[in-house]
Amino acid sequence: MEPRPGAVHRTRERVRPGKRRRRRRRSRLVTLRVLLGLVLATALFQFLRSDTFRIEAVEVTGTETLTTDEVRRQAGLDRTLLVWEVWTWRMEGRLLAHPRVAAADVSIRWPNRVRVHITERRPVICLMQGGSSYAEVDEQGLVLGVGGMPRGGGEPVVTGVDVAVPRPGERLGHPSLRRAVAVAAELGPEGRARISEIHLTAAGEVILYTLEGVPVFLGIEDRWGPKVSALKGILESLAKPEQVVYVDLRSALRPVVKMKDLASALPPPEPPPPPNEVLP
């Protein structure tokens, strides 16, 4: 039996007000959730931007010649930053752009500290410029810096060549200067500590001068290893290096060490006693 059309219409009218109430209730819940989400997001944003996450300390380790301020400035840590604004990979790239930096590692120490570890390039020679400034060069021929005084630990000064030195970050191109770099690198830190000067002659020969002023002739060959090894052995075996006139290592197989005439340096002998005096 089918219901009358009028009865169906009245049933629909009774259902529609209930649906409207449910829809209003759902709309209010959605609005409430949106507002609550906005409040939470705002609170979270303010918390993340608070002083809790503001960088308070930057720890710099591994430096030898660079200062902490130079490292902070090069990395971009010389301004107020939040920990979220510290892009470690980007800061490492900025640090590696400095000629003195060989390796860099930037890490975050939560919640508001940054640690920077630096490995510096070490100079092996110094080039004098105009008599008032020095350029430091590492073992790869890279110019590390130019200044009034060298920052390193007293590397040998290269003399005898008057050429324009490249800017920091560029490499030496002059053959004689590359030869000086190769000799200095072969000497090592201990060997360089005993050499004050690397002189390059017009003929291309290399002459070292020790701290005592003793010249060491190395010649023009590029095989410096045997000669430098022989020189280290000679310097270690000498009890009084100041008594050496020169060292000739142009032939590593036949090194020559010229010593001072010790007989002329001795005091004159005492005169013989009178004939009537008897020695005890």
> Are residues 130 and 64 part of one domain?
no
Output the six-digit token pair for 245.
Answer: 């006139």
Q: Which of 193, 198, 248, 252 is nearest to 226 (CA)?
A: 252
Residue 43 inside a domain? The answer is no
Residue 280 inside a domain? The answer is no
> Are residues 148 and 88 part of one domain?
no
> Are residues 112 and 134 part of one domain?
no
Over range 122-143, report the average pLDDT: 89
Any idea what the CATH number is for the domain that residue 102 is in?
3.10.20.310
> Are residues 178 and 76 part of one domain?
no
CA 122 – CA 112 distance, rounded (Å)? 32
Q: How many CB atoms lie within 10 A of CB 233?
A: 11
Burial of 236 (0-12, 13-18, 19+ CB in 10 A): exposed
Q: How many CB atoms lie within 10 A of CB 23?
A: 10
- Dihedral sign, Cα of residue 182, residue 187, residue 192, residue 195: negative
Burial of 102 (0-12, 13-18, 19+ CB in 10 A): middle
CB 216 within 8 Å of CB 247: yes
> Are residues 63 and 95 part of one domain?
yes
> Are residues 183 and 133 part of one domain?
yes
Domain extent for 241: 123-263
The string of pLDDT tens digits covering residues 158-197 is 999 888 888 999 999 888 899 999 999 999 999 999 999 9
Residue 113 inside a domain? The answer is yes
CA 179 – CA 163 distance, rounded (Å)? 14
Last residue of a domain, one of 120, 146, 170: 120
> Are residues 131 and 201 part of one domain?
yes
The string of pLDDT tens digits covering residues 40-75 is 777 666 666 667 778 989 999 999 999 999 999 999
Output the six-digit token pair for 253.
Answer: 């197989």
> Are residues 104 and 154 part of one domain?
no
The string of pLDDT tens digits covering residues 198-222 is 999 988 899 999 999 999 999 987 7
Last residue of a domain, one of 120, 153, 179: 120
> Are residues 154 and 106 part of one domain?
no
Total domains, the chain = 2
CB 181 within 8 Å of CB 127: no
> Are residues 180 and 109 part of one domain?
no
- Listing DSSP states for 62-81 in one string gives S-SSS-HHHHHHHHT-SS--
Any idea what the CATH number is for the domain that residue 223 is in?
3.40.50.10960
> Are residues 178 and 129 part of one domain?
yes
CA 24 – CA 60 distance, rounded (Å)? 61
Residue 164 inside a domain? The answer is yes
